[in-house]
Amino acid sequence: MSFLQRFLERVLRNNPGRMARTSFDDLSQDQLDAHLRVGRYGSFALTDAVRPSIGLEVIPREGYRRDTYSDPETGNRMPVLAAAVSSERLFDVFMDLLDPLGEVVDVVMESSHDSEPGCHADLYREQIDTVILKSTLYDYEPLLLHDGCTGLAALNPNGPMEVQFDEHKLLFVYAHDLEPFEEILKAHGLKRDDTLKFISEAEHLHSTDDVYHEQFEEILFRLSIDR
């Protein structure tokens, strides 16, 4: 079985109509296979979770940008850091970003394993010691890095402060004071570039596997999160 077949089978196995027609459909098997085998663009290494479009409208690269999130319902605005990190350092950067949240956090596990495109389920756990959360996450590093249907957010229970590791393996920080988080990104060698575009902002493919679906259920149990 080709890389492409393995990659797409994991996404489409249970619902062949799940993915709309894309530019990938117009290419030969060899062209698709060659493109999806590429796991590195310059110094930036992708995880197994996502692949960019065949036209490379966005070429993955490392860095972060500052932005502002505006709540569509309330109109409230929140400063945001958004970062793309090469896969060999991504997990470590995420774990360090959890520290400014405090000693206790709320956790949201995000899953699109059984969802329609563009949708996902949010599963909550309130009040978990950050050290316990981090210890558990270390046991599931491959799931967090390589499953294109798993995401995670950790929140400060006492105020609007959140760190998100999304399904595209991008990092987002929402906080009124971004300085502690930005210092962590800088300490890991990331440079600010407010023109930076992310893989999620163009056509792309997600990948998952049955084993990751099983591990997602395991981590819910470990974190005492009910469906």
21: pLDDT strictly greater than 70: no
Q: Which residues pair with residue 79 across a beta bridge? A: 68
- What letter does residue 156 receive in the DSSP assignment? -
Task: Judge whether 70 lies within some domain.
Answer: yes
Helices and strands counted in the chain (H then E): 7, 11
pLDDT at 9 (0 to 100): 40
Task: Judge whether 10 lies within some domain.
Answer: no
Provide the number of structural domains found in the chain: 1
DSSP class per residue in 76-91 = -EEEEEEEE--HHHHH
33: pLDDT strictly greater than 50: yes
Task: Judge whether 97 lies within some domain.
Answer: yes
User: And the tokens for 64?
Assistant: 């972060």
Whose tokens are 């999160």? That residue is 225
CB-based contacts of 155, cutoff 8 Å, min separation 6: 101, 105, 106, 107, 108, 161, 162, 163
- pLDDT tens, 111-150? 876 655 555 678 999 999 999 999 999 999 999 999 988 9
User: And the tokens for 70?
Assistant: 């505006």
| Beta strand ranges found along 130-180 (DSSP E) | 150-155, 161-165, 171-175
Q: How far apart are CA 76 and CA 67, in angstroms?
A: 14
Task: Judge whether 85 lies within some domain.
Answer: yes
If DSSP codes are grouped into helix, strand and coil, which group holds residue 150? strand
Task: Judge whether 139 lies within some domain.
Answer: yes
Residue range of the domain that includes 149: 63-222
Mean pLDDT, rounded, of the chain? 85
- pLDDT tens, 86-99? 999 999 999 999 99
Cα–Cα distances (Å) from 10 to 16, 163, 203, in that order, read 11, 28, 18
Mean pLDDT, rounded, for 191-219: 89
Task: Judge whether 208 lies within some domain.
Answer: yes
What is the pTM (predicted TM-score) of this model?
0.86
Q: How far apart are CA 23 and CA 27, in angstroms?
A: 8
Task: Judge whether 106 lies within some domain.
Answer: yes
- Is residue 103 within 8 A of residue 130, CB to CB? The reply is yes
Backbone angles phi, psi at 141, to 5 degrees: -55, -45
Poorest-pLDDT segment among 3-7, 35-39, 91-95, 175-179: 3-7
- What letter does residue 192 receive in the DSSP assignment? B
Q: Which residues pair with residue 45 across a beta bridge? A: 40
CB-based contacts of 94, cutoff 8 Å, min separation 6: 85, 144, 163, 165, 171
Task: Judge whether 53 lies within some domain.
Answer: no
Alpha-carbon torsion angle 40, 195, 142, 162, nearest 10: 170
